[in-house]
Structure 1
Amino acid sequence: MNIYDIAQLAGVSIATVSRVVNDSPRVSEKTKQKVMAIMEENGYTPNVFARGLGLDSMKTIGIMCPDVSDAYMATAIAHLESRMHEHGYDCILCCTGYEQSVKEKYVSLLLAKRIDALIMVGSVYSGSGGSDSLVQYVRDAAKNIPVFLINGYLDHENVYCAYGDDYQATYDVTSQMIERGRKRILFLCDSHSYSATQKLEGYESALKSHGLPVLGDLKLYVKNRIHSVRDILLERRDLKFDSVVATDDGLAVGAIKYANSKLLKIPEDLCITGFNNSALSICSDPELSSVDNKVEELCNLTINNMMKILHGKAEEVSRDTKIPCRLVKRCTTDF
């Protein structure tokens, strides 16, 4: 039994059945009761396609992220899905990886599914902030549906961005390390995304404002794998540093394991901060001081804004929302 069978039995169009399913006021009470009775008699459960017919809405949101195994992204997606269900929306999740062609392919796939909006989790989708051709596919998608970026920024019509103030958070952490007498602060990073670039600029600005040089050998790009970070730091015997600013908790835990292998005292010999305030920060030994970039707050903000836009209240929504981060101090810092 499908929507076509129900329409035939009731003597109405499939669009009318869809309107009944969605409780549309455009159907008379008599017709509504007739269609509902036939659906009940035949045990018909409307699917997403039936809900969307005739209403130009599939009540479905597309979500893209590069890597669902990443702690930050997994937390974001779980929260987004829960909030969408509260509003009666389903979601289609695509894990795109980082290849440009794959990201573009998945956007096309989701648009073909007639999604109502697209949420992109991760600054990898915003390029360097919107000036490069690598984000043209995002701008093209925004011509058809509203696009929401979490943890990234892209200045374009119908693209709505919610992200933490990574620049200021990293500037503040680096400054506090310097004010505690740290002179050689290692910047650990695993990408060149918008978020990572903001963190790097915050780190460099803090060094400059305190009269310290920005040294290339103290900016290290490595894969976000805990043991890989540890091993690379152990191999780099020429690399001298007294503190670590990491752009992700996994990188910071790798630095902790390096310090433990070298029998360094934390934070006396080596001060370390992470980013994202994930479960890794309390699983490590010692527990890690980490910047909380408010992932759940960003997700709530995104869903609230999306609901306003889908209900015709776009004028109430800002396209650029930046929220402050905070450092959660644990055992790896002395400030």
Structure 2
Amino acid sequence: MNIYDISKKAGVSIATVSRVLNGNEKVSEKTRQKILAVMEEAGYKPNAFARGLGLNTMKTVGILCANSSDAYLASAVYFMERELRKNDYNSILCCCGYELEDKQKYLELLLSKRVDAVVLVGSNFVESTPEKNKYILDAAGKVPIIILNGYLAADNVYCSLCDDKEATCRVTGRLLETGRKNLLYLCRAFSYSGQKKIEGFRQAFADKNMKLEEDQIQIFNGSIPEVKEMLSELSNRGVAFDGVLASDDELAIGALKYAKEKGLCVPGDLALVGYNNSKMGICCDPELTSIDNKLEFSCINAATVLMKVLEGSPVPSKTLFSADVVERGTTDIFAVRT
């Protein structure tokens, strides 16, 4: 049964049925109930796309992430989809990889589906040069854009993120204060978040008027075994380190594997701090101290902001919040413990 059959059985025009489907108030309550009763009796469900055209909303949000096999991004997608569902919004997920051309292509694909908004999951969408961010700005001219864990100042772009620079600076500073002098920082890439973490690491040394050697920052996009091997090579080259901070928990666990292989005492000989406070951190021995960037809270906040934007309510373009340090067995100097 279609809209024409409904109109015929209810004894009303197709336009009147359309008004009821679209929530138009210019239909008497008696007629509305009559049409709804016919649809219920017939088990009629209006086509979502056709109804969306009339209401000017598809009640659907696009979610764009680089790699859904990444534990952090997968968790973010889960939390975002959950919060959207709570607000009666469906979601369409696209995994686009890390190449700019693919990001542009998949963002355009989501817009072609007439989504009400797009959520960009991860700071890798924010490029270092303005011209490379043009595709985001163009999309923001059509629908609201939410950036999770990244920041881009632009109209109709709303960002929810942790203060990664402050968190990394605070933890690095604490390690330096308690006698660790040869700290090593491991990170994967120069994304927005990655850059902020490196800035925080550098700032801690500057605050203490301590010299930071370039080999104390290692950009390395490797697996856990590869991190272990990389640290062994650094040690063999004479690079000394008594503490390792990492931009994610996987890198930090690679450092823990290195310590185990070398017979080092953790945290006595080598202190280790990860980032993201993922479940991975409690699956190693000793359990990993990690910076909790409050991913779930960030996603809840992002969804709340988006709902207000779609309602036409004023909201801040940027929500920045502080991280916690969850101390476990790889350090013994922080306050928050589990």
Give the TM-score category using the shorter length.
over 0.9
Q: Secondary structure at the match of 1:53?
A: helix
Conservation of the 8 A alpha-carbon contact between 1:268 and 1:334: no
Aligned to 2:73: 73
Deviation at 1:31, TM superposition (A): 3.2
Q: Secondary structure at the match of 2:110?
A: helix
Aligned to 2:282: 282
Deviation at 1:115, TM superposition (A): 0.5
Q: How many Å separate the matches in 2 of 1:166 and 1:111?
A: 30
Q: Could you tell me which of 132, 137, 140 is aligned with 1:139?
A: 137
Q: How many Å separate the matches in 2 of 1:157 and 1:169?
A: 28
The reply to whether residue 174 of structure 1 matches residue 167 of structure 2 is no
Q: Relative to 1, partners in 2 of residues 1:7 and 1:175: Cα closer, same or farther, differing over 3 Å?
A: farther
Conservation of the 8 A alpha-carbon contact between 1:18 and 1:53: no
Deviates more, 1:287-296 or 1:37-46: 37-46
Q: TM-score normalised to the size of structure 2?
A: 0.92
Conservation of the 8 A alpha-carbon contact between 2:290 and 2:325: yes
Q: How many Å separate the matches in 2 of 1:286 and 1:107?
A: 42
Identity rate, percent: 46
C-alpha distance after superposition, 1:39-94 (max 9, x if no partner)? 22322223421431311100000011111122222222111111111111100011
Aligned to 1:55: 55
Q: Relative to 1, partners in 2 of residues 1:30 and 1:99: Cα closer, same or farther, differing over 3 Å?
A: same
Q: How many Å separate the matches in 2 of 1:6 and 1:49?
A: 18
Aligned to 1:302: 302
Q: Secondary structure at the match of 2:20?
A: helix
Q: Could you tell me which of 141, 155, 158 is aligned with 2:156?
A: 158
Deviation at 1:176, TM superposition (A): 0.8
Q: Which runs of 5+ in 1 are unaligned?
A: none
Q: How many Å separate the matches in 2 of 1:25 and 1:224?
A: 59
Deviation at 1:106, TM superposition (A): 0.7
Deviation at 1:331, TM superposition (A): 0.7
Q: Secondary structure at the match of 1:181?
A: coil
Conservation of the 8 A alpha-carbon contact between 1:18 and 1:50: no
Q: Which runs of 5+ in 2 are unaligned?
A: 334-338
Conservation of the 8 A alpha-carbon contact between 1:118 and 1:148: yes
Q: Secondary structure at the match of 2:141?
A: coil
Aligned to 2:188: 190
Deviates more, 1:220-229 or 1:292-301: 220-229
Q: Relative to 1, partners in 2 of residues 1:224 and 1:277: Cα closer, same or farther, differing over 3 Å?
A: farther
Q: How many Å separate the matches in 2 of 1:214 and 1:18?
A: 68
Q: Relative to 1, partners in 2 of residues 1:12 and 1:288: Cα closer, same or farther, differing over 3 Å?
A: farther
Amino acid of the residue matched to residue 178 of structure 1? Answer: L
Q: How many Å separate the matches in 1 of 2:2 and 2:149?
A: 41
Q: How many Å separate the matches in 2 of 1:213 and 1:139?
A: 40
- Aligned-CA RMSD value: 1.8
Aligned to 1:93: 93
Q: Secondary structure at the match of 2:245?
A: strand
C-alpha distance after superposition, 1:259-295 (max 9, x if no partner)? 1111111001111101100001111111001011011
Q: How does 1:232-311 map to 2 (within 5 A)?
A: 232-236=230-234, 237-238=236-237, 239-311=239-311
Q: Secondary structure at the match of 1:163?
A: strand
Deviates more, 1:98-107 or 1:66-75: 66-75
Q: Relative to 1, partners in 2 of residues 1:207 and 1:23: Cα closer, same or farther, differing over 3 Å?
A: same
Q: How many Å separate the matches in 2 of 1:57 and 1:65?
A: 23
Conservation of the 8 A alpha-carbon contact between 2:3 and 2:14: no
Aligned to 2:83: 83
Q: Secondary structure at the match of 1:54?
A: helix
Conservation of the 8 A alpha-carbon contact between 1:19 and 1:51: no
How many equivalent residue pairs? 330
C-alpha distance after superposition, 1:94-133 (max 9, x if no partner)? 11110111100011001111100111110011123xx522
Q: TM-score normalised to the size of structure 1?
A: 0.93
Deviation at 1:8, TM superposition (A): 6.2
Amino acid of the residue matched to residue 332 of structure 1? Answer: T
Conservation of the 8 A alpha-carbon contact between 1:84 and 1:90: yes
Amino acid of the residue matched to residue 226 of structure 1? Answer: I
Q: Relative to 1, partners in 2 of residues 1:169 and 1:25: Cα closer, same or farther, differing over 3 Å?
A: same
Aligned to 2:64: 64
Q: Relative to 1, partners in 2 of residues 1:219 and 1:117: Cα closer, same or farther, differing over 3 Å?
A: same
Aligned to 1:328: 326
C-alpha distance after superposition, 1:140-172 (max 9, x if no partner)? 100001100110000001100110010000001
Deviation at 1:26, TM superposition (A): 4.0
Aligned to 2:112: 112
Q: Secondary structure at the match of 1:245?
A: strand
Q: Secondary structure at the match of 2:251?
A: helix
